[in-house]
Structures are given as C-alpha cells and as structure tokens.
Chains A and B, each alone.
Chain A
Amino acid sequence: MSEPAEQETIVIIDDDYAIRLSCKKILSKMGFRAETFEDGAQGLEGVARLKPGLAVVDLKMPGISGMEVIARIHEMDPEIVVVVITGYPTIDTAVAAMKCGAYDFLPKPFSPDELRLIVNRGLERRRLAIESRRAEVERALLKRRFVTFVSHQLQTPLVAIHQYLSVLKNLDHTEDAAAKRQQWFDRCLARTGEMQTIIKDWLTLARIEGDTLSRQRVKVDLKRIVADILATYEEMAGQNSVSLEARMPEDACCVRGDRNCLSVLFDNLIVNAIKYNKPGGKVTVSGEAREGEIEISVIDTGVGIPERYRQLLFDEFFRVEDEGCKKTAGTGLGLAISKKIVSEMGGSIVVESEVDAGSTFRVRLLAFRAQAGEEDNNRSPDELSSEEDTDRGR
C-alpha cells in the first residue's frame, strides 16, 4: 500500500490531565491527529465536529457519565471505534460498556504499547467494516443494473411478439391478416429465437464467471480453430460482400485450454469483424508465435470504434447504440464473453481502431508447454529434456 493514508483523527475524553497528555503524545507519535477533551459534553461536541475514526473514553467522569458518552457516540456513528479506559475494571462494567457500543476495554494504568495495540486493532477492524460495506453497496447496485438491463433486453422482443399476436386477433376476419399471418408467425419465431440467444449468452457468461462450465485443459491448435470458424462463416461473409483470409504461420499455434471456449472466443471476434464491416471489405485473421506466447489478431476494414467507446467495449452492459448505427442482431455480450475466456486463461485482449477504417482485436495467450510426464510431439527431444531439468530444479 504505497498511497499515503489520510490522517486519521482520534479523540480522547478523560478528566485526568496526565492521561490526556500522555495519550496525545503516544498517538501523535503514531501519526494520528489526537484531540483531547476534559469532559463528556465537550467530548461529544468534539466527536461531532472532528468525525474521528476512534475515541478513547474514560468511564468515570464528572458530568455526563462515560457510559452515556459511549452510547451517544455509537448513536452518532456506529462505525467510530470506542475504546473504554477505567481505573475500576470489572466484568460488569466491561459488559455494560460493550453493550453501549464500546469496542474494547483498557484498564488503567496502561502502557504505551497496550494503547498502541488496541488502537491499531480497533482501526483495522473499522477499515475492514467500511470496505465490506462499500463492496456490498457496489454489489447491490450491479445486481440492480443487471436486472434492469436484462429485463429490458428481453422485454423488447416480447413486446413485438405480443403486438403481432394481438393485432392478428383484432384483424382476424380481414384479408390483410390472412395474407400477413405466415410472415408474422415467422417474425414471432425469429424474435423468440432472439430471446433464447439472449438467455443463452447470459448463462454462458455466468458460467464462465462462476467456473461451472466444464473445461478441459488440453493442447489446442488455434490454427485449426480459426480455420474451422472461417469455413463456417464463408457463406455469411459472402452475403455481406466481405472476404475472409487467414494468415497463420507455418508452425502450429498451440495453447493449453478448452476447445469449445477457444472456439467461442474467436467466433465472437470474427463474427463481429464480418458484421461491422463494409461491403467489399475484408477480415484477416493473422497469427504469430513468439516466445512462450501466441498472438492472434482479427483485423477488419469496417466502421471502426469511436475512441470514447473503447474503454467500455468489453463491458457486458455496453452496446453501441448511436443513432444511425447499423442495427445488428445479437446480444452485445460477445466481447464480454471473449474477454472473460481470455482472462480465465491468463491472456490478454486489446483493441486498436480507427473510425471508418477498421478495427484490430489482438488476443495474446500463453503458448502450450508440456508438463512433466506429458508427451509433446511438436518439440524436439533435446528441448523437452532440458525443460524437464529446469522443472525439477525449481
């Protein structure tokens, strides 16, 4: 943790001058801002004003009792850590103080070390409580955002289907309905398919994150994966007047992973490259095997991605919805899924783009390395045995 922490304030409330002085000295030396008060009323004012992280409170004071002070501080802000000090420690008073909201008990006389210990522990606990509260709020917000987003995604096709059906009912007797019925049934079916894809994609994303997707960890040649995908999309690319090309090296481009996941990963990138392309455009998938790493780039000559969207591109909630932007089918989750798979494999994915010229998605994955005992017929025996020596030496 190299960031300089904001100076924490500690408040000391004790009618004993000597205690106030020594506590202030000890705590100031620890780097805290220490403020002292000689009775409960002033102490409470001080707490309200200074908003400390921790307060040291003496139980026996004239005026407002220590117990009352503890209770009031706790009411003001339950996250302020209260340490009780007293010259008359008993189990009963200890319990009573805890019930009022105190964190811990320090019987007088106490040594500087004892004070330091209790203060550090108390503040650490407070820090953790604040952090976990923040995380919870964030989680709740994310959840709500997700629910709103997905509901809307599913709502749109549902509304369209509902509309078709209710209009068909209303126009049941007309010629127009008879003529349009079949076409509209097809549209309803298409929109149903759309909803199924949305659900499937969200489930895929959840399963990758949740680690419940059954995954193999075998040797996979990315050249094969890429070739298979390009073959699948040849027709669709043709329909869009987009040409496809693979520029892969002579050697195999092997990684360790799951064949299906790797297919999905590159499928999403290649499909996007075709969809967001221009008529007469091109999609090139190039590969490079470097030391310990395989890099696959999917390059298109398409519409490009404006600078302001590039940060958000891999976010599951993000979809470029600029007016006039081509309305393409799909859930918008493709990139989020691809990124998750890449991250899972310890790789990286970056995008370079120029509006109206095209985009390049670069995926870097760790090259396949045979583990001890595994056969790897791509490598020469010399390489293999020297590698095993290195492994053993570790």
Chain B
Amino acid sequence: MPTSPRVLVIDDDEDFRASVRSLLENHGYVVFEADSGTDGLRKVVEHKPNLIVLDVMMKCCTEGYGVNQAIKHQEEYRDYRSIPVVMTSSIELSPDELFPMAGEVEMIRPDYYLTKPLDIPGFLQVVERAASACRSRNAGEA
C-alpha cells in the first residue's frame, strides 16, 4: 500500500499554515510545517517531503526565494533538488517582474507560482500533480 505523499508547508503566517494543513490532511496528505526559511530547510532535510509549499515571505529579505535557491542550487541540498516547489505569494508580480536583473544572477525559478489566497481546486490539482510526479520518480529511482 502506498504511503501518503508528504508535503512541507513553509510560511510565516500560522493561520495560513493551519488552514492549508487541514485542507491537505483531509485530502490524504501528511503535512509538516515550518515558519521560516531556516526552519524550512532544516525540515526538508529531516522529512524529505514530496512537495514543498513555500511562501515568498517578502517581509524579510525575500526569504522564500532564498530557500528555493538553496534547494535547487546549493551542493548542501543536492539530495533534495528534485523536490518540486510551489511558491505562494499575495503579490501578483511574477518572478520576472519582481527581479528584473535576475538574468545576471542565475535566479532559480520555483516549479509553480500561485497567488494567495489560493484557489482551492487549482491548488489541490497542482499539489496532486507535483507530489505524485515526485513520488513516482523516487519509486523509479529506488
């Protein structure tokens, strides 16, 4: 019997984490939470989730993009590079508009970019697609 897909939610708003946790748990996911970039990276290593839902966290030096960068780029996290990242933000701007100089700095894009508040059916679809893709990849590799 397949184990439930694991989702890590990294967001500094505890209410947002609470509602997303309930939503995902009720749809058969196992959910882990982190309230900051640092905490998030630690939990990626600890739980090796199938999907990361990551808030931009613009309040503190674009924390979210920092995490995304780390996972997809840094040697330290190479084992976790394949985990899809769904980035969420209440800002409508796409990564390109937010960071127009990005071309020079090797800005790593997240796999998905969703605006908050999340459209629930859309969000669930993305989660399903991304998490199962990751799991089958892992199963294939095993």
Contacts and interface: CB of A to CB of B under 8 A. Distances in A.
Interface of A: 152, 155-156, 158-164, 166-167, 169-171, 174, 176-177, 180, 184, 187, 191, 319, 321-324, 327
A324 B36 contact: yes
A159 B13 CA distance: 10
B63 A323 contact: yes
B60 A321 contact: yes
A167 B38 contact: no
A322 to B, nearest CB: 7
Contacts of B58: 152
Contacts of A327: 12
B63 A163 contact: no
Q: Which of B16, B22, B38, B90 has the most CB of A within 10 A?
A: B22
Interface of B: 12-13, 15-16, 18-20, 22-23, 25-26, 36-38, 58-60, 63, 90-91, 116-118, 120
A159 B23 contact: no
Contacts of A152: 58, 90-91
A205 B125 CA distance: 45
Nearest to B12: A327
6 closest cross-chain pairs (CB), A and B: A162-B117, A160-B15, A167-B19, A163-B19, A321-B59, A159-B116
A191 B23 contact: no
Given A155-B90, A177-B22, 12 more contacts: A152-B90, A156-B90, A158-B117, A160-B16, A163-B15, A164-B15, A166-B118, A169-B120, A174-B26, A176-B25, A191-B15, A321-B59
A158 to B, nearest CB: 8
A152 B59 CA distance: 10
A150 to B, nearest CB: 14
Per DSSP, chain A at the interface is helix
A171 B23 contact: yes
A176 B26 contact: yes
B128 to A, nearest CB: 14
A323 B13 contact: no
Nearest to A174: B26
Given A162-B117, A323-B36, A324-B36, A171 B59 contact: no
Nearest to A179: B22
B75 to A, nearest CB: 22
B22 A187 contact: no
Q: Which of B20, B90, B91, B118 has the most CB of A within 10 A?
A: B90
A279 to B, nearest CB: 20
Contacts of A191: 15
A167 B59 CA distance: 25
A169 B26 CA distance: 13
6 contacts: A155-B90, A159-B117, A160-B13, A174-B26, A176-B22, A176-B26
Contacts of B25: 176
A168 to B, nearest CB: 8
Given A163-B117, A322-B60, A171 B26 contact: yes
A185 B16 CA distance: 14
Contact of B22 (A156, A158, A162, A167): A167
Nearest to A169: B120
B13 A324 contact: no
Given A176-B25, A324-B36, A166 B13 contact: no
A31 to B, nearest CB: 44
Given A171-B23, A176-B22, A176-B25, A163 B60 contact: no
B4 to A, nearest CB: 15
A152 B20 CA distance: 21
